[in-house]
Amino acid sequence: MISYHRLEVSGLSIFYREAGDPNLPTMVLLHGFPSAGHMFRDLMPLLSDRFHLIALDYPGFGQSSMPNHQEFSYTFEHLATVTTEFLAKLKLTDFYLYVFDYGAPIGFMIAMAHPQWIRGIISQNGNIYQAGLGEKWATRRDFWEHPTAAKRDSYRNAFAPETIKGQYLTGTPANSVGPDGYTLDIAYTQRPNYVENQLDLIFDYQNNIKKYPQFQAYLRQYQPKLLAVWGKNDPSFIYPGALAFKQDVPNAVVKLVDSGHFALESHSAEIAALIKSTF
C-alpha cells in the first residue's frame, strides 16, 4: 500500500509517497525530468516487502510547490539542498538511494555531502559520466557556452506533448508502455510557472556535468554498493554511462535492459528483482 503525504520544508509544500514498513531498510527514490514521484508507482509495491520507500516530488515538479523562478532559484544545487532538508526533517539518515535522470546529480550531491547516509546506490539511467551523454548534449553545450534568448526559447519544445511521449516510448518494446505516465507529465506542464522554471534547470544542467569528476571521486573513495541498471536504448543517457561505473566501483553490478529512458515503464518487475538480488 502506498500512502501520500505533504511536508513543509523551507516554506514549501513537498509532496511524497511512502510504502513499506518503516522498520525495514529505507530507500529514497529520486525522480527525473519531466516526471515526479509517480514514476515509481509500479516499482514501490514490488519492493515494499523488503524496503521502506520514500519518493518525493522536487519543488517545481508534480504535486509539490511550484514557486516562480524569479522567487526561487531553480538550480540542481538548490534542489539538492531542499531534498537534504526534507530527508533531515523525516530523520532519514541511513538509506539506499535510487537515482534516475535529474535525480542523479541531486542524489550524488547529497551522497558527497553525507556519505555516512548512503547504504548503497541504484542508478537507473542516472548519468555521471561523459561517456553517457548522447548526441543532443552537443547542442546544449552551444546553448550553455553562447546563451541567447532565442536558444532558450528553442528548448520550449522539451515540454511539447509529443516530445514527452517520445521520451517514454523511444527504445521500448512495442506495446509495453501505457499512457499513464506521460499523460500525467504532460498535464503537469500546464501548471503556472512550469516552463520558465524548467528552462532555468535546463540551463543549469551544465553545472552537473562540471561536477562529474567530483561524483566519480566520491565513488572511488567510498566504494558504495552500486547497481547500474539501464534502459540500453536510451538516446539521452546512452548505455556506456552505465558501463563507466565499473571504472570507479569495480564491484558495481551493471545490467542493461531492453528499454529506453523510462525503463521502469516496461521493466519495473525486472528492475525490482535486480534490486532485491543486489541489496
Cα distances (angstroms) measured from residue 11 to each of 14, 201, 253: 9, 21, 39
- From the list 99, 153, 147, 146, the residue with the least C-alpha distance to 123 is 99
Edge-to-edge strands, sheet with 225-231: 2-9, 12-19, 52-56, 26-30, 95-99, 118-124, 225-231, 253-257
CA-to-CA distance for 245 and 110, rounded, in angstroms? Answer: 18
- From the list 15, 25, 19, the residue with the least C-alpha distance to 2 is 19
| 78 is annotated as an active-site residue | no
Burial status of residue 243 (CB atoms within 10 A of its CB: 0-12, 13-18, 19 or more): middle
The letter for the amino acid at 216 is: Q
Residues 6+ apart with CB under 8 A from 146: none
- DSSP 8-state assignment for residue 72: S
Catalytic residue among 52, 78, 261, 267: 261
Burial status of residue 129 (CB atoms within 10 A of its CB: 0-12, 13-18, 19 or more): buried
Neighbouring CB atoms inside 10 A of 45's CB total: 16
| 32 grid coordinates | 527525473
**With contact defined as beta carbons under 8 Å apart, do 121 and 226 qualify?**
yes
Neighbouring CB atoms inside 10 A of 160's CB total: 12
Give catalytic residue positions: 261
